[in-house]
Amino acid sequence: MGTLIVSGGRRLRGAVRVAGGKNSSLAVIAAAALAPDVSTLDNVPACRDVATLVAILEALGVRVSRAGGRLTIDARGLRGHVAPYDLCRSMRASFYTAGVLLGRSGRAQVPLPGGCSIGARPVDFHLRGFAALGARVATEHGYMKASTRRLKGTSFYVPRSSVGTTINLMMAATTARGTTVLQNAAREPEVVDCAVFLNLMGARVRGAGTDTITIEGVATLHGNAYTIIPDRLEAGTYLLAGAATGGDVLVEGMIPEHVTALLTKLEEAGAEVVRDTDGVRVRGGELRAVDVDTAPYPGFATDLHPQMVAVLTQARGTSTIRETIFEARFAYTDELRRMGADIKVEGESVHVTGPARLTGAPVEAPDIRGGAAVLIGALAAAGDTEIAQVENLDRGYEGLEAKLTALGARVARGGAMRAAEAGG
Ligand code: EPZ
């Protein structure tokens, strides 16, 4: 279990280029395996979650090779229908293999993804959707088992906005007999990116980005080339790190419209935000408390809530962040409190009062975005912080040290620092 050592209290200044979207990559990589063909995907981030999904697909006979940000996915050899248990348990997006295997071969045996530190995260909507598409679905021995001769188009209302359910059912429905209508579909950019790629594969998906997606089934799909959209969550994280340290950070290669709710809240809190065609620049300064409700896209992203709280520890007054998507994504607050943050969690709301003088402390990254919040706290804190379980940060952020160092931060892997001290 690695650590990251951060020597905080320095204003971040400079430019950083955002990587390709992790969550979009996970959906598009899975979609590529729907076709008995070869696809090349560009701008794929080298983060742990992508590596995990690649390993799962390779266990199913898909051949994947990487050259820089380009993945070549040869799914002609996909065989079997049982996804590997341990690999799947470690990452929820592994459940996309259910939609892929059902869409490709009509049979799927996929481990039920565990919950994690942000909530129970059931997949009941996915299972109901597959059943609505005509599959026989059962859960036993920790697996979902589903089978059908061929999926049948249907109309399905997703009980609440769900990115994973929308993407999984959209993928499965591409080769169903007849037309499928997904109502109350998620509108996240990752859904749109996956739909665009599916259509390049020969699928007939309409309405992605709205709450009603129509998929007209086709007999087969073929491979294609595609470039993944930039990662709106990585972009938001670096902008928030700039705001928290009173710095001046330019994030290049991002799509400002993907984080409108965040930029609006940063301006309300008193940060200076400059939107450019190819990026966004945030200058910190005297920040004031704001209230935030997370919401499905285009609302304030739940995956930026922990990082926003870390910034608001430095804002004057008391802010309230209401988390409406996940019931338990508050583990990071314990870690920020170790650094001196004044934070109270009441029900689904976090109340944070500032400005608090944060000091470095031994902490841990409880999950991807909770880890990002702890990292932002460490960057703003006086003194050194050692962040344990840094693997959780690596799940969603590629090239962390290089990007932070380019912004003037002083960070290093714990092992590296120790080895250097020991002359190893
Ligand atoms: C995706 O997770 C993202 N992951 C998450 O990002 C993100 O936080 C989430 O969407 C936001 O909605 C990927 O794209 C790989 P959901 P997903 O289905 O699809 C409940 C990160 O940090 N629900 O939209 O798993 C669920 O419990 C990750 O990059 C059911 O009850 O999320 C949650 O409360 C973390 N039953 C809500 O819906 C279901 O069958 C939204 O979840 C499915 C979901």
CATH number of 4-18+230-423: 3.65.10.10
d(CA 194, CA 21) in angstroms, rounded, equals: 11
Q: Which of 52, 118, 163, 191 to mutate to test the pocket of ligand 1 (most atoms within 8 A of CB)?
A: 163
Nearest residue by C-alpha to atom 38 in ligand 1:
162
- The pLDDT tens digits of the residues spanning 367-397 come to 999 999 999 999 999 999 999 999 999 999 9
Task: Read off the pLDDT of each residue in 197-216 and give the average, rounded to a whole number.
Answer: 98
Q: Which of 47, 88, 116, 194 is catalytic?
A: 116
The full DSSP string for 320-359 is EEE--S-S-TTHHHHHHHHTT-EEEEETTEEEEEE----B
CB-defined site of ligand 1, < 6 Å? 22-23, 26, 92-93, 119, 121-126, 160, 162-165, 190, 233, 302-303, 325-326, 368-369, 396
How deeply is 346 buried, as exposed, middle or buried, from its count of CB atoms within 10 A (0-12, 13-18, 19+)?
exposed
Strand 143-147 versus strand 179-183 pairing type: unpaired
Q: Which of 360, 31, 316 is nearest to 166 (CA)?
A: 31
Task: Read off the pLDDT of each residue in 52-74 and give the average, rounded to a whole number.
Answer: 98
137 pLDDT tier (thresholds 50, 70, 90): very high
pLDDT at 424: 37
Sign of CA dihedral 357, 361, 367, 371: positive
The full DSSP string for 221-239 is ----EEEPPB-HHHHHHHH
pLDDT at 206: 98
Domains 4-18+230-423 and 22-227 share a fold: yes
272 alpha carbon to ligand 1 midpoint, in Å?
A: 31
Active site residue 116: yes
In CATH terms, 22-227 corresponds, of 3.65.10.10, 3.30.70.1070, 3.30.70.1290, 3.40.605.10, to 3.65.10.10
Q: Which of 168, 182, 303 is nearest to 231 (CA)?
A: 303
Other C-beta atoms within 10 Å of 122: how many? 11
- The pLDDT tens digits of the residues spanning 103-119 come to 999 999 999 986 677 88
pLDDT at 120: 79
Q: Which of 175, 154, 233 is nearest to 33 (CA)?
A: 175
376 alpha carbon to ligand 1 midpoint, in Å?
A: 23
Give the C-alpha distances (Å, rounded to integers) separating 117 from 121, 125, 210, 294, 378: 10, 20, 30, 18, 21
165 alpha carbon to ligand 1 midpoint, in Å?
A: 8
* 380 close to 11: Cβ distance less than 8 angstroms: no
Q: Which of 44, 158, 231, 325 to mutate to test the pocket of ligand 1 (most atoms within 8 A of CB)?
A: 325
Give the C-alpha distances (Å, rounded to integers) separating 398 from 50, 131, 363: 10, 37, 21
Domain ranges of the chain: 4-18+230-423, 22-227
Atom of ligand 1 nearest to the CA of 127: 40
Task: Read off the pLDDT of each residue in 233-261 and give the average, rounded to a whole number.
Answer: 98
pLDDT at 415: 67
When the pLDDT of each residue in the chain is averaged and rounded to a whole number, the result is 95
Task: Read off the pLDDT of each residue in 151-168 and give the average, rounded to a whole number.
Answer: 98
Nearest residue by C-alpha to atom 1 in ligand 1:
163
- The pLDDT tens digits of the residues spanning 68-87 come to 999 999 999 999 999 999 99
pLDDT of 164 over the 70 cut: yes
Query: pTM to 2 decimals?
Result: 0.96
123 alpha carbon to ligand 1 midpoint, in Å?
A: 9
3-state secondary structure of 256: helix
116 alpha carbon to ligand 1 midpoint, in Å?
A: 11
Atom of ligand 1 nearest to the CA of 396: 29
Atom of ligand 1 nearest to the CA of 163: 24
> What tokens does 385 get?
């912080």
Other C-beta atoms within 10 Å of 86: how many? 7
* Alpha helices in 250-297, H assignment, sequence order: 260-268
> What tokens does 197 get?
């790629």
